[in-house]
Structure 1
Amino acid sequence: MIRSTNALRAAALAGAVALVLTACGSDDGGGSDETDASADASPLIIGTLLPQTGTLAYLGPPEIAGVELAVQEINEAGGVLGADVEVENADSSDADHAEVATQSVTDLLSKDVQVIIGAASSSVTLNVVDDITGAEVVQISPANTATSLSGYSPFYFRTAPPDTVQGAALANLITGDGHSNIGILVFNDDYGTSLRDVVKATVEEAGATVTYGNAGEEFDPAASSFSGDVTALLATSPDAIVILAFEQTKLIIPELIAAGVDPTTLYLVDGNTADYSADFEPGTLEGAQGTIPGAFPSTEFQAKLKELNPDLTDYAYAPESYDATILAALAAVKGGGTDGPTIQENLASVSGADGGTEVSTFADGVAALEAGDDIHYVGQAGTGSFNEDNDPSSASIGVYKFDASNKPVFVKGQEGEVPES
C-alpha cells in the first residue's frame, strides 16, 4: 500500500533529532563554514505529484515506492544537513482531470516543499510547471518524455529521457523486425503526438512508410469507443501497428484482435506497456512488444521496493523516481541549503555534469562531498548526467515482450544518446 503523508512525516520527525551531518557545499570543499550554515537549514521537504487516480494510476505505486525508498535510505544515512527528509504526497491524476494536479500543486506549495517529484504525464506537467518553477521550487519528473519540455525552465529537470530516445528505439525495433508499412493509433495528447513525430521520422528515414496516424489522424482520448479509428487504420493495410495511448489501450486491443490482427505485429510504449493479465483472455497479447525508458530494475532493487509496498507488480519509473530524490538530496548537501535555488544550482553537478568521483548511494555521495570532491551520481535508472536542457544526457530503453498471460517480460535494453535542443 502507498503510505500516507502523515505516516511518512511522523516517521521523519521521529528520527530528526540529534543527527548532525557535516556538509560540503562549495566547489573548493571548505568544511566548517558549510557545517555552521547547515545548522540553520530548514528540513528538506519533498512533494510528490504522482498519479494515484486516473489513466496512469498504475504508475503511481512504483514511482511513490521509489521516492519512499530513497527517503528511507537518506534518513538512515543521517538525513540532509542534519535533519530527516520529509515527504508530502499528492495526486496528479491525468490530463482529463487537470484540476486535480492544479489543486495538488497549490497544496504542496502551501506546505513549503522545495522539490516536487512528478508529474508522470507530460500533459499534466505542462499544466502546472509554470506554477511550480515560478515559485523557484525544483520540479524533477521521473517519467515525462515530451520533447517540448526539454530546456523548459532552469528549475525543471527529468530523469527520464525525452521521446527522441524512446521514439527512435521503438522505430528501430519495428523496422528491425522487417516491417515497412506502419500504422499508428495515437491519441491527441502532447505525449502521444510528440512520440508519434519521432517514430514517424525514424521509420521514414529507414525507408518505411507511415500508412495511418499522421498529423490530423489522431483520436480523441476522451472517446468512449475507438472502433472507427481502428477501421480507418486497418483500411491502410499496415504490417505493424503502434498504439500510443494510456488507458484507452484496454478498449483498442479487443477491437484489433477481433479484426484479426496478429498480436506479434503490435507495438506499445511506456504509457501502456503494463500488466494486462486481469484485462484480457490469456494469449491476447502474446508476442506483442513494448518499450519503457530506463534500465530494468535489479532483483535487489525490486526486493527493497516490495518491502515498502508488497503489492507492487509493475516497476516502471521506480528507478527514475528513486534517482530524482537522491539527486535532490545530494544537491542540497553540496550547496549547503535546502531551498529551491540552491538545489537547482547544484543538481547538474551532482549528476556528473562536472565529472567527479562516481558514487551510487546517498551516503557515499555525502562522504565524497565532505572530502571536497565533485561527484557523479550513477543511479538505478542508468541515465547519464543532466545536459544543458536538464535532460539526462543518455539513457537505456527497455524492450519488453508480452507472454501468454499478457504480462510484459523484459527482453533487452537499448542505449541511446539524448540530443540537446
Structure 2
Amino acid sequence: MTDDKCSANDTSSLRIGELLPVTGSLAFLGPPEISGVGLAISDANAAGGVNGQKICYDLQDSSDSDHLQVSTKGAKTLVANQDPVVIGAASSTVSLNVVDYFDAHKTVEISPANTSPSLSGASPFYFRTAPPDSVQGSALGSLISQDGASRVAFLVFEDDYGTGLRDNVQKTIEAANGQCVYGCKGDGQEFAPAETNFSSQVQQALASNPDAIAVIAFDQTKSILPELSKQGWDMSKVYMTDGNTADYSKDFDPGLLEGAQGTIPGADASDEFKQRVSDWNQMANGKPLDDYSYAAESYDATMLAILAAAKGGKNDSTTIQQNLPSVSGTDDGTECSTVSDCLDAIGNGDTIHYTGPSSIGPFNSDNDPSSAYIGIYKYDKTNKNILSTTIQGSVG
C-alpha cells in the first residue's frame, strides 16, 4: 500500500482529482472519502495500473456551502492540472457550484455523497454513487411514521441539501397521514448555515408541540443537540440524516443521544473493507479512521472511473464518461468485485458489471445509481451511532 499522490507536473499517470472537504462543516467526511479514493488507487496500481499508466490522486479542498469560493478555486486548479476525472464534491451545494464549470471543460465529476435531486441529470459529465434524497427521505420519513410520530418538526438549514431532503421526508410523513408542524416546506423557518445560536429556533420548534424532531444540518448539529436537551426535549425522539448521523461519543456527555436515530445512504461495508480503508488513512495521515461515511461510495466512484478508462482503452475524460454506465452494469455483463478480476475480464474482451462495497445498482439515465441501500442507525449510551438495519430502495 502506497500514498500515490500526484507530483505537480506528472503527465505520465492517470490523474484522479479530488474535490473533498478538508476544511469547513463537512470536514469530518473528508478522511473516509479521501481514504476510499486512495485505497482504490492503491489497489489499481497494485494490479498494474490502467492502459499502461500508473494512477495518482490530486486533492483539492472543497470546504462547504458557506465557503463556495474554496470549491471554485479547487475546481479551477483541478482543470488546470488536466485531471480527466474528479471525485467530489461531498456537499450538493458545492457540486451545484462547480458542475457547470466541469461540464464546460468536459471533466468527469463523480460525487460519492451528493443527494440533492437538483443534480439528477445535471450534466452528461456528472455522476454520483450516492442515491438522491428521494430514497433517503422516504426511508427516514417511513421510520419516523412507523415509530408512531404524527406531528414532526424540522430544524433544517437553508441549503439545497437540507431543504431538498426535508421536502422528501415531509412528503413521506404526510403520505402516512402525519403532519409537519415546524420548519415545513414554504414556511421560511430554515436557519442560515452560519448560525451558531439555536435557542430561539429550538424554542419555536418545541412550541409547535411535535412528537418527533428531525435535525437536518451539518456541523451545526453539535450546537443544536445540546440546546434541545437543555430545553427539555426527549432526545430519543430526535432523527438525523447522513450529514449529521455521526459518532458523538467524544462530543457530548454519555447518554445525551441514547435512543436517537438517523440514516446514512449506503450498505454497511464489510469489516475487511473498513480495516483496509482505515489502514490506508493510517499510512497516509498517521491515524486510523473513526468514521466510515461514504468511504465505500468514494472507493467505488474511483474504481468505476478506472474501469471505464480500461474498457475504453484511453485515460481521457470523454472515454471515461462514455464507458462509466457500461462498467456499472447497464449492459449486464460479467459481475466482478475486485480490480484484478475486472481488468482481466476487460482484457479478455468481456463486458463487465462492477459490484463494489457500496452495493449500488447500475447508473440510470440521469447518471444516478438505479438502486441503493439506506442504513438505519440508533445511538447507544455512549452517543455512538450503531447500525440497526439496512433497507434497499430504488431510484425513481
Q: TM-score, normalised by structure 1?
A: 0.90
SS in 1 for 2:106: coil
Q: Counterparts of 2:382 and 2:280 in 1: how far apart (Å)? A: 26
Q: Counterparts of 1:176 and 1:353 in 2: how far apart (Å)? A: 35
Could you tell me which residue of structure 1 aligns to residue 26 of structure 2?
56
Shift of 1:52: 0.5
Residue correspondences, number: 387
- Which of 115, 122, 138 is the equivalent residue of 2:108? 138
Q: Counterparts of 1:85 and 1:133 in 2: how far apart (Å)? A: 23
Shift of 1:9: 3.0
Counting only pairs closer than 5 Å after superposition, residues 16-415 of structure 1 correspond to structure 2 as 43-214=13-184, 215=186, 216-310=188-282, 311-415=288-392
- Residue pair 1:187, 1:219 contacting (<8 A) in 2 also: yes
Q: Counterparts of 1:60 and 1:188 in 2: how far apart (Å)? A: 22
Detail structure 1 runs of 4+ shifted over 6 Å in the superposition.
Answer: none
- What's the CA shift string for 1:80-137, capped at 9, x where partnerless? 1011111101110011111111111111111110000000000111111111121001
* Higher-Rg member (1/2): 1
- What's the CA shift string for 1:185-210, capped at 9, x where partnerless? 11110000000110011110011111
Q: Counterparts of 2:94 and 2:379 in 1: how far apart (Å)? A: 28
- What's the CA shift string for 1:2-21, capped at 9, x where partnerless? x98xx6236xx8xxxxxxxx
Q: Counterparts of 1:160 and 1:127 in 2: how far apart (Å)? A: 18
RMSD, aligned CA: 1.5
Structure 2 letter corresponding to 1:345: Q
Q: TM-score, normalised by structure 2?
A: 0.95
- What's the CA shift string for 1:199-237, capped at 9, x where partnerless? 011110011111111121211121221111111111111
- What's the CA shift string for 1:152-183, capped at 9, x where partnerless? 00000000000000000000111111111111
Q: Counterparts of 1:119 and 1:224 in 2: how far apart (Å)? A: 24
- Residue pair 1:42, 1:338 contacting (<8 A) in 2 also: no
- What's the CA shift string for 1:367-400, capped at 9, x where partnerless? 1112221111111101000000000000000111
Q: Counterparts of 1:95 and 1:236 in 2: how far apart (Å)? A: 29
SS in 2 for 1:157: strand
User: Matched residues, percent identical?
Assistant: 55
Structure 2 letter corresponding to 1:117: I
Shift of 1:42: 5.7
More off after superposition, 147-156 vs 104-113 = 104-113
Q: Counterparts of 1:97 and 1:278 in 2: how far apart (Å)? A: 26
Q: Gapped runs of 5+ residues in structure 2?
A: 283-287
Shift of 1:412: 1.0
SS in 1 for 2:361: coil
- Residue pair 1:43, 1:80 contacting (<8 A) in 2 also: no
- Residue pair 2:6, 2:15 contacting (<8 A) in 1 also: no
